């Protein structure tokens, strides 16, 4: 059998000829950045596609997190999940905010709302949950706690592009949501990201903040950052938006096949689709019970690797275990039993729009034998 390398993901790329036509237009116009024509077009098209009123483009998925915290003037302590990419917690640190880790609900890998209350102190000002793998958090439960204590909610929705719950975009939850358009995501602009807001004034303020704080030619209203998206990436993003639905459907087919093949394998569990949710199949995590499966997660990870299949252990280690954060009181393992267990059991299997049936069968075969 062909032993070509299979990576965990592969970027969705626009047609090069179509991109070249747009590049020519950019070259001819000599307008290459600072809220150009394609930038404005992409913001408009994304807002429509995602069914959100306001969206601001950013150069990656980390800066909208940092900026959301600034826009809402969040200070003190923020409750967040240890089970995510490290950028989630870093955004707090960049704002001088103390992260307070709370355990996850293993049924969705998101913050467990029942455990948030016990972590609230007089210094708590917000909650930063993550829709991990694009799987919706318990939005209602989290909002109830937030409302009771007057806390803001900023969702890191880096994985949740195009995810809807009961026909409504998941990005409408909380006070703000952020997206990542990194090359490894369902929808990408090479590097890129966005911040979704619910009203015009907030969008205006976000746009000041991502442009050094400029509110007009001579006025600076905040110590903003530079996170402006150039025309080349905006053009690339416009073309990718036209093919993202097809890519999501291709991922869906891969998920169907994985589930069919792995459903009765003892010691392996995975997520099924949730009723009323439009999923984006951004990741396909499986969880290994070593005793029942007869092999540890790491043994399977290495076995896949030996067979040139590069699954990834997202999200191991937990953010709370990195040297930067492990000294925090909330990083104690006893505080995070579910996250600790899941981080030791997870492998994300290869999942992208270009995986062939043969690739998927090869992966399944290695797992089953
Ligand atoms: N919040 C959450 C919850 C996030 O997951 C992330 C990012 C962020 C915030 C921050 O958003 P950004 O600032 O990154 O926009 C990747 C990504 O770099 C990162 O964006 C992502 N999360 C994280 C979960 O994964 P790595 O270090 O695992 O990626 P890397 O380079 O090992 O790539 C994985 C595989 O993808 C490669 O084996 C092959 C394939 N690949 C990758 C790249 C970059 C390609 O085929 N082509 C490529 O150009 O971090």
Residue 334 clears pLDDT 80, i.e. is over it: yes
**pLDDT of 1:** 52
| Residue in this structure with the two tokens 């090479």, named with its chain if needed | 190
**Predicted confidence (pLDDT) per residue in 193-246, tens digit:** 999 999 999 999 999 999 999 999 999 999 999 999 999 999 999 999 999 999
**Predicted confidence (pLDDT) per residue in 114-156, tens digit:** 999 999 999 999 999 999 999 999 999 999 999 999 999 999 9
- Measured CA to CA, the distance from residue 331 to residue 5 in angstroms comes to 36
**pLDDT of 67:** 98
Residue 3 clears pLDDT 90, i.e. is over it: no
**pLDDT of 2:** 72
**Predicted confidence (pLDDT) per residue in 57-114, tens digit:** 999 999 999 999 999 999 999 999 999 999 999 999 999 999 999 999 999 999 999 9
| Residue in this structure with the two tokens 């909208």, named with its chain if needed | 64
Across the chain, mean pLDDT equals 97
Q: Looking at ligand 1, which residue's alpha carbon is closest to its atom 38?
A: 7
| Residue in this structure with the two tokens 């455990």, named with its chain if needed | 115
Ligand 1 close to Cβ of residue 158 (< 6 A): yes
Ligand 1 close to Cβ of residue 62 (< 6 A): yes
Average pLDDT, integer, range 335-363? 97
- Measured CA to CA, the distance from residue 156 to residue 215 in angstroms comes to 26
**pLDDT of 76:** 98
Ligand 1 close to Cβ of residue 193 (< 6 A): yes
Distance from residue 182's CA to the centre of ligand 1 (Å): 6
Q: What is the atom index within ligand 1 of the atom nearest the CA of 314?
A: 24
Average pLDDT, integer, range 10-28? 98
Q: What is the atom index within ligand 1 of the atom nearest the CA of 130?
A: 3
247 CB contacts (<8 Å, ≥6 apart)?
12, 186, 187, 352, 353
Residue 291 clears pLDDT 60, i.e. is over it: yes
264 CB contacts (<8 Å, ≥6 apart)?
none
Residue 168 clears pLDDT 80, i.e. is over it: yes
The fraction of the chain above a pLDDT of 90, given in percent, is 99
Confidence (pTM): 0.98
Side-chain half-sphere CA neighbours of 155 within 13 A: 30
């Amino acid at each position: 059998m062909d032993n070509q390398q299979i990576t965990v993901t592969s970027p969705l790329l626009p047609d090069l000829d179509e991109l070249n036509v747009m590049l020519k237009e950019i070259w001819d116009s000599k307008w290459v950045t600072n809220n150009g024509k394609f930038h404005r077009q992409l913001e408009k098209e994304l807002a429509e596609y995602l069914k959100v009123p306001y969206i601001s483009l950013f150069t990656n998925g980390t800066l909208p997190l940092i900026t959301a915290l600034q826009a809402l003037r969040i200070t003190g302590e923020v409750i967040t999940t240890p089970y995510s990419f490290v950028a989630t917690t870093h955004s707090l640190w960049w704002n001088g905010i103390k992260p307070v880790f709370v355990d996850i609900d293993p049924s969705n890998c998101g913050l467990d709302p029942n455990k948030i209350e016990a972590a609230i102190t007089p210094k708590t000002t917000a909650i930063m949950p993550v829709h991990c793998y694009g799987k919706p958090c318990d939005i209602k439960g989290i909002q109830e706690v937030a409302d009771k204590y007057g806390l803001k909610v900023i969702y890191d929705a880096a994985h949740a592009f195009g995810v809807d719950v009961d026909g409504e975009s998941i990005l409408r939850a909380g006070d703000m949501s952020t997206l990542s358009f990194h090359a490894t995501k369902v929808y990408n602009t090479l590097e890129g990201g966005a911040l979704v807001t619910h009203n015009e004034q907030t969008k205006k303020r976000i746009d000041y903040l991502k442009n050094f704080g400029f509110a007009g030619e001579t006025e600076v209203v905040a110590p903003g950052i530079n996170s402006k998206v150039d025309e080349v990436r905006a053009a690339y993003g416009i073309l990718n938006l036209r093919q993202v639905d097809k890519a999501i459907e291709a991922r869906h087919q891969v998920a169907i096949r994985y589930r069919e093949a792995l459903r009765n394998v003892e010691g392996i569990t995975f997520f099924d689709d949730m009723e009323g949710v439009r999923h984006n199949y951004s990741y396909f995590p499986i969880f290994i019970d070593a005793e029942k499966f007869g092999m540890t997660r790491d043994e399977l990870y290495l076995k896949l690797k030996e067979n040139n299949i590069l699954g990834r252990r997202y999200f191991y280690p937990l953010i709370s275990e990195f040297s930067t954060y492990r000294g925090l009181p909330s990083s104690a393992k006893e505080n995070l039993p579910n996250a600790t267990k899941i981080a030791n059991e997870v492998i994300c299997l290869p999942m992208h729009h270009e995986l062939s049936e043969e690739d998927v069968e090869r992966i399944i075969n290695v797992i089953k034998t």
